[in-house]
Structure 1
């Protein structure tokens, strides 16, 4: 019979080898995360990228359901088009992802009754993607229109699948705005788009006046760098403060510097990465999936081999769905970042006014660290409003570095510090698979 001392020693060893989730009020996780890296890729929905993942049956994807759209929402009893795992390496078209187009994709109309959203009566049927694709490209070719809802098999996205299987995949993470890139990136970095609902010129001339995460971090003496690989203005340069403070000259650097800093172990406390758009590493059509996969592989492997890996949390997300299909209806009647509204003219010539009180469509999101569980599927959040969105990153950073809450949307968004364990994993892969050769 084993001795009492042996039994006690064994129990202690087993306990120390198991992840312990953070309970409410436990902030010990903050001592384990010293560096946060955020990479915001471009324009793909959850179902498109992650809908075909097979490694966990709890993933709310497309493997165990038949997801179809009517060919024309005005003829609901007519022909239908169903999603297939045959999405192409280079999407033949770039689907509409403006406010009016997304209205059609979600509600099967350009003009959902916003008043009914507050009463919970808004019908988000997620059935308008094929109709919008056919309308945008003026085609009756349903094979071509079906590319808006087709998805990738797991073997097509080897890199993303490997990252998901080894770390934490969110299957209920929504874009902040049911619209295009820059309003979503503004919400992600400041908790509001200041009333901007399209990619207008203000984003290119540092015209946004609100406080951003970059300003907050500087005020707290938390180091940050916005690395970028694009001809477009990186996200920190949306804001007038970045230029007026001179941070545009000191804290905005080319992506090549990221790789050098990661190798040297000199990354700042907060790293924010803008990919190129839209030819070779952003996933945004016509950027090939293979090159997007190779890019996220290069970022991961640079971090994994960095001397800072042991204290790093890497967040990979996509700014918005890019007009590609998803079967999960996004939450409505959520707090906006402020009281400003946005108006645009729909294809039918009528105006749409949007109050930013609805979230955008699901996007694939991963949290990667030696301090998180492998293969975990994270669904709804456990705090604040209970839903994950881009502003969840701001909510998390506010807790990590004692920042104030920028906007009501940030205060509502669920944060994810409970995913950080007290168990350091030594089994995280040093290298990821090469992209699938389409």
Structure 2
């Protein structure tokens, strides 16, 4: 084939649904003016939680769950749908219900309505200027679905091999897959090449021990990617994994909750700028930004049916696993195709992660053919984008990106003080550093410490008053959200309502 591009660069970010990131972008099938509603019980009549134009940079707890069981609950309202339920169009009303389950576990208490609202919140485009600008300026795919209604590892397996060989869970990243991958297909053509750029985790190296690879195939992203672009040394196919583990110098930039999403915006902008700064390379490179799965965040589009990749059923050898036949896709995720050869547009074709290996195999006519039935049957990017089209015009009007202000990380001393502040909590069950491990921003840490101090002092002062003879009652403020300032009114309420023994640390 006469191809438009010699290089394809794929960045797979983490855990965001289409509505969550682009529901209010005004491009594609997003959130209508009336919004969407979930309730605490799927399909119930409790207080409604409505989609809102206000995303959260940092998630509460560990963020929404996205296991197969919890994704089932988000879709159908039950963790183990019957065959009859699975055959129906899912109502998409269980996101709050599912989040309540996972957040109660994370916080060891009942979540507040404000906390539960996070799963329904959708970003205002001004909050994510990099992704919003690229989605407006290039091709936004608004019906791209993850391949598995479950977590990270099986979905990353599909982008590499169009199967997860029956895995629907992360399995501690210990599976050693025996299937062939897109990289095996590329190896079969000596004229082509591949390279994985990683920040810490390298799932290609870890999951495929039989893959023929060398040191040149696996390199750190820092320095290497920009240098390869500048020196016109990009491989035919490049796969970039973000940072899952953060440090003050290099924060998590995967977008995986609960971490702040703004470093991922910077990563996208850095890749874009590296390509844009090398025009001759830019002219022959397609940059694909995709997300592995929805991360449990609300989306309103039901996943469609699909073909099983290889007839291998979902594993049920662990007690927490539920059956799955791989004949329906996961939830919708944002995907952007970036190249100055492409006019701003919207592609509503139903794609999945298997589209990527299928398209590469088809476009470059790789020996061995498709990997599984899934990439064979998946819609391809080949004819629309990869094959040269004389009508395409190189654009000079591509945008410059504005990177959002990045969060400032805590140093070791600040982290120690933050963790220690949980011991000020008057409720013993809350003295757990799990509450602080998600906090990365100093301003958020300061507010947390001041809140802990205020709670401690309120209970201390109330206890003193009771010791001086005030009559105790029954506490109703255990789960109230205290201010960062000491409240005399709250102290008085504690005096009047809390049993004397309940105020003891």
The equivalent residue for 1:143 is: 114
Name the counterpart of 1:189: 160
Q: Answer yes or no: is 1:77 the counterpart of 2:45.
A: yes
- Indicate the residue corresponding to 2:352 in structure 1: 389
Q: How does 1:418-429 map to 2 (within 5 A)?
A: 418-420=383-385, 421-422=389-390, 423-429=392-398
Aligned equivalents of 2:333, 2:182: Cα separation in 1:
21
Q: Please, what TM-score do these two structures have when normalized by structure 2?
A: 0.73
1:92 alignment partner in structure 2: 60
Equivalent of 2:215, from 233, 249, 260? Answer: 249
Match of 1:356 among 316, 326, 340: 326
Structure 1 residue runs of 5 or longer lacking an equivalent are: 1-26, 381-386
Q: CA deviation at 1:419?
A: 3.1
In the TM superposition, residue 143 of structure 1 has moved relative to its aligned partner by 1.4
Structure 2 vs 1, CA of residues 80 and 344 (structure 1 numbering), >3 Å: closer, same or farther? farther
What corresponds to 1:369 in structure 2? 339
Task: Choose 1 or 2 for highest CA Rg.
Answer: 2
In the alignment, does 2:123 pair up with 1:134? no
Correspondence 1:152-163 to 2 at 5 A: 152-163=123-134
SS of 1:317 mapped into structure 2: strand
The size of the alignment, in residue pairs, is 387
Q: Secondary structure at the match of 1:308?
A: helix
3-state SS of the aligned residue for 1:184? helix
Matches within 5 A, 1:30-429: 30=3, 32-54=4-26, 56=27, 59-73=28-42, 76-93=44-61, 94-114=63-83, 117=86, 121-138=87-104, 139-201=110-172, 203-204=173-174, 207-221=176-190, 222-230=192-200, 232-242=201-211, 245=212, 247-256=213-222, 257-279=224-246, 280-306=252-278, 307-332=280-305, 334-344=306-316, 352-374=322-344, 376-380=345-349, 387-403=350-366, 404-420=369-385, 421-422=389-390, 423-429=392-398
3-state DSSP class of the match of 1:282? coil
CA distance in 1, matches of 2:38, 2:329: 21
Structure 1: how far apart are the matches of 2:254 and 2:397?
25
Kept after mapping to 1: 8 A contact 2:243/2:254: yes
- Pick closer, same or farther for the CA change 1:321–1:165 going to 2, 3 Å: same
Q: Give the Cα–Cα distance (whole angstroms) in 1 for the partners of residues 71 and 227 of structure 2.
A: 40
Cα root mean square deviation, aligned: 2.0
The Cα of 1:305 is off from its aligned counterpart by: 1.4
Return 414-423 or 312-321, whichever deviates more.
Answer: 414-423
For 1:34 and 1:350, locate their aligned partners in 2 and report how far apart those are by CA, in whole Å.
44
Tell me, yes or no, if the aligned pair for 1:52 and 1:85 is still in contact at 8 Å: yes
Task: Report which structure shows greater RCO (CA 8 Å, sep ≥6).
Answer: 1
Task: Describe the superposition over 1:28-80 as per-residue Cα deviations: whole angstroms up to 9, x where unpaired.
Answer: 4x1x21111011001111111111103x4xx111143411101222x612221
Mapped to 2, the partners of 1:267 and 1:416 lie a distance apart of 20
TM-score, normalised relative to structure 1: 0.84
1:228–1:318 distance in 2 versus 1, CA, 3 Å: same
- How far, CA to CA, are the matches of 1:176 and 1:282 in structure 2? 19
8 Å contact from structure 1 (residues 166, 428) kept in 2: no
Deviation of 1:330 after TM superposition, in Å, equals 0.4
Question: Cα offset for 1:286?
Answer: 2.5
